[in-house]
Amino acid sequence: MKRKITIIKVGGKIVEDSENLGNLLDRFARIEGGKVLIHGGGRSATRMAERLGIESRMVDGRRITDSDTLQVVTMVYGGLVNKNIVAQLQARGVNALGLTGADCNIIRAQKRPATTIDYGFVGDVEHADGDMLSRFIEQGIAPVVAPLTHDGKGNLLNTNADTMAAETAKALASLYDVTLIYCFEHPGVMRNPDDANSLIPAITRESYRTLLAGGIISGGMIPKIDNAFNAIENGVKEVVITRADAIDGTQGTHITA
């Protein structure tokens, strides 16, 4: 029987609110077994760029990462946000280790090719090293991973944290019984974001197509669910999309095969 591992992906809105982050880390500390935390931090990066006089450019919610912006996101994601989370977890008795994808070569990516849009130094994941991550986990260490990868040629790349979470879950699925939980500010995937009672408790491939066609699922939720199905179809036991105060997996939207 495989050991249970929980991977939590938390977005910037939670990370950048001290009360919500504290509540999340309280719950993360109580998770039994091995665990990994993957975080965002886009709003903090935008604020830091503004303070430094660097324009933030977004296309469909995705950041254009030129050389100046890459320096900002490296400082913010890999430094300020990551180490703040690590310090707070240490205070809660969790032996956390802050990492980027470049550290120990845990996540390697390739620079996204320029098409009609040149995203700059943005990476698409090629490989996640589950064996290396397992070495930390087996020593009782909780990796805390910032949304940065590398290309193996000395370049850092800004990389979508949802994708990094899915790829990490896939890489660990051959070794562990993996549950992947995407947490954010809503109870899960909602038919109507303004109606707290409109939670969709489960989504299959078939129902997903219907929800897409009806416009109920749109925008940034689409890549999140695509990543969830990718993980399920590659050995991850369970994927849940839920609120940051419900990361035990009992609530929210369950993505199923």
Give residue-wise pLDDT tens across range 186-206.
899 999 888 888 999 999 999
Domains held by the chain: number: 1
Distance CA(68)–CA(54), nearest Å, equals 7
Contact between residue 118 and residue 111 where contact means Cβ atoms under 8 Å apart: no
CATH number at residue 203: 3.40.1160.10
Task: Find out whether 4 and 179 touch, Cβ atoms under 8 Å.
Answer: yes
Q: Rounded to 5 degrees, what angle do the CA atoms 20, 24, 29 make? A: 150
What per-residue confidence (pLDDT) applies to 249? Answer: 84
Give CA–CA dist 93/13, Å, rounded: 24
Q: How far apart, in whole angstroms, are the C-alpha atoms of residue 168 and residue 178?
A: 10
Which residues form the domain of 129?
A: 4-255
Helices assigned H by DSSP within 4-66: 12-15, 18-30, 42-51
pLDDT value of position 58: 85
Burial (Cβ within 10 Å: 0-12, 13-18, ≥19) of residue 81? buried
pLDDT for res 194: 86
The model's pTM: 0.94
Kind of pairing between the strands at 62-63 and 58-59 = antiparallel
- The list of the chain residues with pLDDT below 70 reads none
Encoding tokens for residue 171? 């890489």
pLDDT of residue 82: 97
